[in-house]
Amino acid sequence: MKRAPPHQTYGMNKANEKFLILMAAQRLIRTDNGEEINKSQARLMDNKGLERMKNDKNLSIERRLVLMLPFSNVSKVVDRVYLGGLAALTVEIFLLHSIKLVINATHDLPLLKESDVESYRVPVNDEITGDLLMYFDDVSDMIHEFLQKNPTDSAIVHCMAGVCRSATLIMAYLIKYHKMTTRDSFKLIKTIRPFVRPNIAFVGQLMAFEEKLNDYCTTKITKIYFDNSLVRMPNFYETDHPDLYKLEIRKQTGS
């Protein structure tokens, strides 16, 4: 990603005052657990720049992985709402889909800065201690309002790989504005992007959000014992997503 001129100003000046939590997050310098937030700015790269990044010998294995398939794919979740990772931030993709709103769900990637694109950061770590719930309303409302005001443009939510944080934020949007349950939003997004796997804490936060909006939640986190270990599990994983069911057991039991 190319660095942006430091004097430019972007979407925060256009934002409605009602997005108070999201606006406050733009001024943070550290995450809740003390990690420094990357305050640098970057321009969109083109496909040649993406290839150069992939071939950079100094690139970490983790960063190289998210630039490869399937993580490099850009996924259309619903009309004009896209989900992706670092590899989605290219000129070609933004032109193809007329993307004009970006939600960066990382604390460490540079914030995209283009004169015709609104860009905001949700600086949350991809850990079970991360709190995305506090941003669900603002991000959902911002996407909805943007799409209403800009009928030919699109929004993208991205994190590093388009697997956890960004997927969770889009599910919150689906719950609020497409009237889905946590379970239904999960099923839709897993159908579109099969390798999505929000951590167990984020799934619990989605359930809390559903309950807040509707005064009830159709799903819950249950406690089960596996090999004498207590495991917390969404009650729809075993039937709907056996891959995630097995993964959670391995993660929580250390097996």
Domains, the chain: 2-218 (3.90.190.10), 220-255 (no CATH)
- Checking if the pLDDT of 13 tops 60, the result is no
Which of the residue ranges 153-157, 180-184, 226-230 would you say has the lowest mean pLDDT? 226-230
The pLDDT value given to residue 17: 72
- Checking if the pLDDT of 197 tops 70, the result is yes
- Checking if the pLDDT of 14 tops 60, the result is no
Segment 56-79 shows an average pLDDT of 96
Question: Is residue 121 within 8 Å of residue 127, measured between CB atoms?
Answer: no
The pLDDT value given to residue 155: 99
Given pLDDT bands bounded at 50, 70 and 90, which one contains residue 136? Answer: very high
The pLDDT value given to residue 16: 53
| % of the chain surpassing 70 pLDDT | 94
- Checking if the pLDDT of 219 tops 90, the result is yes
Mark whether 217 is an active-site residue: no
The pLDDT value given to residue 227: 87
- Checking if the pLDDT of 116 tops 90, the result is yes
Tokens of 104: 């960066």
Choice among 4, 67, 142, 159 that is catalytic: 159
Q: How far apart are CA 5 and CA 142, in angstroms?
A: 26
Segment (H or E) for 75: strand 75-78
Segment (H or E) for 242: helix 242-253
* pTM tops 0.85: yes
Q: Judging by beta carbons within 10 Å of its beta carbon (0-12, 13-18, 19+), is residue 191 exposed, middle or buried?
A: exposed
Q: Count the Cβ atoms, other than its own, within 10 Å of residue 177.
A: 15
- Checking if the pLDDT of 51 tops 50, the result is yes
The pLDDT value given to residue 4: 53
Helix, strand, coil tally for the chain in percent (to 5) = 40, 20, 40
Tokens of 60: 């970490």
Segment 66-80 shows an average pLDDT of 98
- Checking if the pLDDT of 6 tops 90, the result is no
Average pLDDT across the chain, whole number: 94
Helices (H) and strands (E) counted in the chain, each on its own, are 10, 10
